[in-house]
Amino acid sequence: MTIRTASALIPLIPALLANAPAWAQSDPFAGIPNLTVTYYDVAGRTVEGIGRAIRLQGLTDARDGKPVDAKANWWMDWRWDNQGEGNACRPANVTVGFHAAIILPRLTDASHLPSYDRAKWDAYIKALRQHEANHVRHALDRTGEVAEAIRASRCDLADGVAKAIVVRIGEQDAEYDRTTLHGVTEGAVFP
């Protein structure tokens, strides 16, 4: 019975996706563990008004102080068991936790927008979501590197080794924003 119900819905999926906003058709946040996404509401009757509403939110990048439309923050924590003592101590059973938070704009009422302006908004949000997801995925993909560095270190040095990798990841994050102009070159600009 459940199989019939599920298979009966499969032909409807393309129609449902065709009417969904562009950003909802493929979720760049899918599979990211411990991710919290929050929104700030923006309103406007024109693309210019919506753009002003986004800028009035006053989000800034903590690294370069530049205004941004969205933010992605991530952090790691790590734990291990000490095996041995003194200079012979090596981390064992290493675990690295990953957490992320993203802040995005949300259009409160798109019903008054002409279809071409709504298409601009949808393209912008899709690109913005992808840009922020890229930040988070870049860090998430490096958790194994942090774990390996801890395992290869002595217990008394492991925390510093892990922190140094996190600093490098943050520097690469900043370079990604410099290269893409905070996502502008990827289409994350409105209007």
Position 191 scores a pLDDT of 81
Alpha helices in 102-154 (DSSP H): 115-140, 143-152
Among the ranges 13-27, 43-57, 123-137, which has the highest mean pLDDT value? 123-137
Looking at the chain, the whole-number percentage of residues with pLDDT higher than 90 is 74
Q: Which residues contact 60 (CB under 8 A, 6 or more apart)?
A: 66, 67, 68
Report field, pTM of the whole predicted structure over 0.75 = yes
CA distance 129 to 118: 16
Question: Which of the two residues, 21 and 14, has the higher pLDDT score?
Answer: 21
Report the distance separating Cα 153 and Cα 100, nearest Å.
26
Where b means 16+ CB within 10 Å and e means fewer, 73-92 reads bbebebebeeeeeeeebbbe
Span 133-181, pLDDT tens digits: 999 999 999 999 999 999 999 999 999 999 999 999 999 999 999 999 9
Q: For residue 25, what pLDDT is reported?
A: 54
Q: Is 80:90 a contact under the CB 8 Å cutoff?
A: no
Residue type, 16: L
The pLDDT-based confidence of 24 (bands split at 50, 70, 90) is very low
What is residue 153's predicted lDDT score, i.e. its pLDDT?
96
pLDDT number for residue 4: 33
pLDDT band of 10, cuts 50, 70, 90: very low
